[in-house]
Amino acid sequence: MRATSSRGLGLRLVAAFSLIALLCALAVAYYVSQARQQVGADYTALVTDVVRAQQDPAALRMTLDSLIDSQDRIHLEQIHALLWRIPRRIEGVRLQLRRSELVPESYGELLEELDHVESRLPALEASVDVAAEQGLDDQGSEAILALGMEVEEGLAWAYSELNELVHRASADQRQLMERLALAVAVLLLLLLLAIAAVMRMLFHLHRQRETMRLQSRTDELTALGNRRWLSEAAGEAFERRCRHGVPLSLMLLDLDHFKRINDAYGHPVGDAVLVAFSQTLERQVRRVDRVARMGGEEFAILMPDSELADAEALAERILRATRAMPLPGPAAEHRLTVSIGVVEAEEERSFDRLYSRADQLLYRAKADGRDRAVAGHAAPRPAAGGVAAYHDAGVAQEALSANTRR
């Protein structure tokens, strides 16, 4: 009997665990990828607006410097264009800040500064309009320069602080997401370990159950199947015989004068003889045949797809192999023989009836002088007395076994 079910379960559990581990690895990789993309997306628009807005104070400073050097109307037009763009930049930054994950308290002061700058823009725009209509003089230039520098400094400071705040928040969020990704990976690893532990426990429980099941169906001494195992195998063989009409034969074997070996050499030597005989039987049978120890020195061979002639040929080979079998230890000079009863299933529907017929033929082999095989197709017909006469014959046969089956 081969314990293949545990190996098959182990392979299935390994395959399932490998699939789960692969899915967990893909989940972690997907989470990390999406987390990084999300972190970048959270601040990309805000950083872009801040960077663009930082160009406004620089452009305003450059225009004011040019206005000081040359009081040209083109510089007034440039300032006028900046005054149109700056409020829209401020509104865009304000909107992005509300949408961001930044705490309002962290940028409240910066918004106040931008609000102050925005409140100064109308005065600067009015000074630029007056200069454009009446001409640019020293007094007008100084007014524009004073208001322009105030706006430029407010914008430069607010945008610089905001840029630093956004980059710091982005770095903090990235670090947090990396920690979360690590935590997720650790949790998945713990989950995999838990699944592995459960699978290992299931595998060990299955092996223990299979071991107990095997022990309940296996002879401990010879490692052959026992009577229960042979009865289960016979049930399957009878079903196959009924379904496909294939032949089925049974052989019962009983070692001759085995008690003498135990009495002369001791039970350990007797056990070694039983083990050696079981190995001899396994070498003689086919792979599909089922060899079992029924108890004591009695063995049985169930032969699917075997007619009586095939079973008889196997019995002759076993007789010869048993006579030539060397015995272990101090029993080496002893010659072992076996008596065999062989039957082919005919009208039987159960293993017990087939076993009963084979048992009768085994008794006959014992009575006829042992070291032989007796085969038959059917049990002897009941005598004229009907069932009672057949029962009496059975009782007489049981009485004979007390003398012959030793």
Q: Decide if 109 is catalytic.
A: no
Q: DSSP assignment, residue 287?
A: S
Q: What whole-number distance in Å separates Cα of residue 215 and Cα of residue 54? A: 84
Which helix (H) or strand (E) segment holds residue 375: the answer is: strand 373-376
Residue 35 and residue 177 in contact, taking contact as beta carbons nearer than 8 Å: yes
Q: How many residues does the chain have?
A: 406
Q: For residue 159, report the phi and psi dihedrals to the nearest 5 degrees.
A: -70, -35
Rg (CA), the chain: 50
Q: Which residues of 36-72 are buried (b: 16+ CB within 10 A; e: fewer)?
A: eeebeebbeebbebbeebbebbebbbebbeebeeebe
Instruction: List the catalytic residue out of 113, 297, 312, 348.
Output: 297
Q: For residue 255, report the phi and psi dihedrals to the nearest 5 degrees.
A: -65, 135
Q: Retrieve residue 170's tokens.
A: 């982005």
Q: What whole-number distance in Å separates Cα of residue 115 and Cα of residue 374? A: 117
Q: What whole-number distance in Å separates Cα of residue 19 and Cα of residue 22? A: 5
Q: Classify 178 as helix, strand or coil.
A: helix
Q: What whole-number distance in Å separates Cα of residue 351 and Cα of residue 56? A: 102
Q: Which residues pair with 251 in a beta bridge?
A: 301, 342
Q: Retrieve residue 123's tokens.
A: 């005065």
> What residues are labeled active site?
297
